[in-house]
Structure 1
Amino acid sequence: MSSKKKLTVKRLVIFLVISFLPLSMLIPILWAVYGEPLYSGKNEQLAVISYLTGVFGMMVPAVAHLITRLVTKEGFDNTYLGVHFKGKEGYWFAAMAVKLIEGWAGLFLLWAVFMKGTAFNEAYPNINMQNMGAYLLQLAASIIIFFPAFGEEWGWRGYMMPKLLELMPKPAAVIVGGIIWGLWHAPLTIAGHNFGTDYPGYPFTGILMMCLFCVLMNCFLTLVTEKTRSIYPASFIHMINNSLGAAILLTVFGSETAIKKVQELNSIELFFAMTCFTAMTAVISFVLFIKKDKSKIESI
């Protein structure tokens, strides 16, 4: 291994240690203090504590990015903090639109697969101008989530992925990066985030599902980040994914019957229903990302 690659490995390890430690230490402490899982406990105080913990956790990778650059004297070139529109408009548009489309498609899938015998307008009677206004307000309000989303993205896509891409081929880097990102969520998953604690194979099934989801998301997020050389499109994708998915659409537009039928699903069934279109986006993104740039080949 060359000295340059050794330095890249060193920087990556430092970044990952700093990224993983805070949640790995904090969540067990909070669990011990409150005597129940942070994200599936009955204590009312846990709602606020869990939200603050989530926001804190999302900011940690950005802090790890900053500290690693300072400690290893890496400097601040290639930080992905620039804004590059020219020739990249399609990727910026995809960052704004794809997750919104996935959310609506997921809502239709829930009806088609899990609400048989229920007419569409019976399942979603609240799709009207008033509730569309509420949805648009939610879209506007979700900008608050942009900042913690940026915290994760500047760490994972702005630092981890470039380092992995230096060390291994693109396909391997995308998969390994997604798995690392998924494992970073493990303390949250064990504490009931995303899947709760009442499902077959807890918590290992949940950790596995989170790793799978993160690999799928990493395909799209890495594509737009590397193509635009900017972290902001991925931050918008992350923001929309966390605040405007099919689950939120269901609560805004769904009837009591529809919501009840979805609540009858276990968390793993719901996960697969919600990630069907994420998987389609991931496959397209993966192909586009690993595809060789013909213009670069011709110039060699």
Structure 2
Amino acid sequence: MKKYIITILAVSWGLTGLIFLNPKTAINNFGLIMFIPLIMTIIFHKIEEKKTGMKEKILKKRFNRKAMLFGCLYPIVFVMICAGIAVMLGQGTVVLDKEPVVWIIRLLVTVLIGLFSALGEEYGWRGYLLPKLTSIYGKKKAVLLTGAVWSLYHIPVVYLLAKLTGLGNPLLICVIQAAVVFVSNFAFSFCYYLSDSIIPVIFYHSIWNTWNTAILGDIYTGKQGIVHGKIFIVNGEGVIGLAIAATAINYFWKQFDNYKIKNIA
């Protein structure tokens, strides 16, 4: 697993550096980094198949209703709680400049399109890294290690985007966002453990990206959402999001002992 982790981080960081050599096009192209986990995992799978003759069926594993409901509802509830707290604290103001029907249709379409980019990450993180680490170390240590790798993967692009957009202190934003990614991994991992399938997690990831950006703004580009305010504060990947995600850690930590996952120790 060390080779996989080192390779995926090196390639993603290297590609990030290349993309940001041209700041004018970086905003439109940084999303390509999301497909690095997918590509690297496919390569590692091919190498393993030659050695063992065993084929991985990451996308063919069945999922249950509970996992899908959690994956679809939890990110929406999380974002709405962030929005409510931001408004109550006077940190955000609701500005709806489109008809509700138009807004809902756009959200649904964006979620469906976002499934492809979510697959790019989840195929690697929860489809390969988490189950492999779980089979070696058990669920809890695997979750911690996966969260650490996922956070490190985000650091270069978040730092460089913060410098490019002037959203705030790049180092501070980078630290907060990395911490959010780490603690959010507990919920993502729980969603995976509910059924041993990444399909619900892919929906979770896409819905999270879509709702968080639409409601609370885009912490990567600085574009405001429906709740206008300082994005670094109100965003689900900002200060308020970190506080809420941190409060849920204990719940998910206890739940990891309650689910026996097929083919995973």
TM-score with structure 1 length normalisation? 0.72
Offset at 1:156? 0.6
Offset at 1:68? 0.7
1:124 aligns with 2:94: yes
Q: Identity over the aligned pairs, expressed in percent? A: 18
Offset at 1:164? 1.4
Distance in 2 of aligned mates of 1:103 and 1:269: 10
Alignment check: 8 A CA contact 2:86 2:234 kept: no
Alignment equivalent of 1:248, drawn from 214, 231, 254: 214
Distance in 1 of aligned mates of 2:55 and 2:251: 30
Q: Which amino acid counterpart does residue 65 of structure 2 have in structure 1?
A: E
1:165-184 superposed matches below 5 A: 165-184=134-153
Partner-residue secondary structure (3-state), 1:244: helix
Alignment equivalent of 2:41, drawn from 65, 68, 84: 65
Could you report, residue by residue, the CA deviation over 1:42-70 in whole angstroms, capped at 9, with x for unpaired residues? xxx33xx433232x211111111111121
Q: Which amino acid counterpart does residue 231 of structure 1 have in structure 2?
A: I
1:18 aligns with 2:7: yes
Could you report, residue by residue, the CA deviation over 1:18-76 in whole angstroms, capped at 9, with x for unpaired residues? 322333223323434x3xxx4xxxxxx33xx433232x211111111111121233555
Who is 2:73 aligned against? Answer: 97
1:53 aligns with 2:36: no
Alignment equivalent of 1:84, drawn from 62, 68, 92: 62
1:139 aligns with 2:108: yes
1:291 aligns with 2:253: no
CA pair 136-276 structure 1, distance change in 2 beyond 3 A: farther
Could you report, residue by residue, the CA deviation over 1:97-119 in whole angstroms, capped at 9, with x for unpaired residues? 11111121111111111349xxx
Distance in 2 of aligned mates of 1:285 and 1:207: 25
Offset at 1:292? 6.2
CA pair 24-253 structure 1, distance change in 2 beyond 3 A: closer
Could you report, residue by residue, the CA deviation over 1:258-278 in whole angstroms, capped at 9, with x for unpaired residues? x2xx23x7x367512133333
1:190 aligns with 2:159: yes
Q: Which amino acid counterpart does residue 248 of structure 1 have in structure 2?
A: A
Matched residue count: 249
Q: Which amino acid counterpart does residue 94 of structure 1 have in structure 2?
A: F
Offset at 1:83? 4.7
Alignment check: 8 A CA contact 1:131 1:253 kept: no
Over the aligned positions, Cα root-mean-square deviation in angstroms equals 2.9
**Contiguous gaps of at least 5 residues in structure 1:** 1-11, 39-44, 117-122, 294-300
CA pair 282-238 structure 1, distance change in 2 beyond 3 A: farther
Distance in 2 of aligned mates of 1:75 and 1:95: 33
Largest Rg, 1 or 2: 1
Distance in 1 of aligned mates of 2:173 and 2:156: 11
